[in-house]
Amino acid sequence: MLDPQAQALLQLMKDRGVAPVHTLTPTQARQYARDRRTYTQPPPPQLADVREHTITHGAVSFAARSYHPEKNPSHALPALLYLHGGGWTIGDLDTHDVLCRSLCEQAHGVVISLDYRMGPEHKFPAAYEDTIAGYDWCIQHAKQLGIDPHRIAVGGDSAGGNLTAAACLGLKGSAIEPCFQLLIYPAVTMRPDTPSYHANGQGYMLTQDSITYFTNNYLAKDADKDDWRASPIFASDHTHLPPAFVLTAGYDPLKDEGYMYADVLSKAQVATQYVCFERQIHGFITMGGILQEANTAVSLCAQTLKHAWNRKK
């Protein structure tokens, strides 16, 4: 059964005639995402310190924001590099500010959120390249950030989960690999054809039309769909990846591919936990102001992060 609070949200959107995202321009869709957070998200937790940064690699520069649970910690803290969701098209540091603050507060680690380049202005693999650059930047600036470079997890929701999975594949064998991957209803294939894609593809926030819209904004050509950096599930080797926590939603068209990716990781001997919030819709974790189960999911992610960091001490 669909969560009554989620059902009420979907009905309200229908009653108010909210335009489907795939009918909007990217600029309109981005503004809608920024506006929506004011009534779907809980109040932002107050933290000891929040800092703004600029990350540069080559000729590219983009913004980042770090969240700190302590002003002057006596020892290096663990960290989470966070990639926001939004179909590689919408979302920014502000749309996921409350979530990052909550994870920082509850997990007691530094969270670094990236404002990576998005489509359609910046096509694949720009977002992936920014993710790798962001991870390298965290290691290079570990002392200034007050973090332990050997305890950096990577995480994200939806498109951010896609970038997380791809980055962990791309960083395999690097001098300092991520210690953990947090995958929140991740998009792991650009060729979706699962039962949940068809069963949940209409009427539950994220639709088949919006998935096509986001994919077309992100990718430059059809062949990109088969690149593991865009479709992490297509990678030839999933062994020796960081331990993973995969969270999905029961009424999400991406549910089955998240489950399948958890299964692929487990079969590759990667320590993997999988949890499905059976009554929820795609995007629910950033709606804690109106969906109570969102706050439960945030707390679960924070506890999982803490355990992962503690194992690396």
Q: List the catalytic residues.
A: 158, 252, 282
Element (H, E) at 266: helix 255-267
49-57/147-157 β-pairing: unpaired
Residue of 251, 247, 255, 246 lying closest to 205 (CA atoms): 251
Separation between Cα atoms, residue 148 and residue 145, nearest integer Å: 9
Question: Would the CA dihedral through 184, 24, 233, 229 be positive or negative?
Answer: negative
Separation between Cα atoms, residue 299 and residue 107, nearest integer Å: 8
Separation between Cα atoms, residue 173 and residue 96, nearest integer Å: 30
Residue of 174, 182, 108 lying closest to 147 (CA atoms): 108
Separation between Cα atoms, residue 85 and residue 132, nearest integer Å: 16
Cβ pair 113, 186 in contact under 8 A? no
Q: Which residues contact 19 (CB under 8 A, 6 or more apart)?
A: 32
Residue found under tokens 């993973």:
244
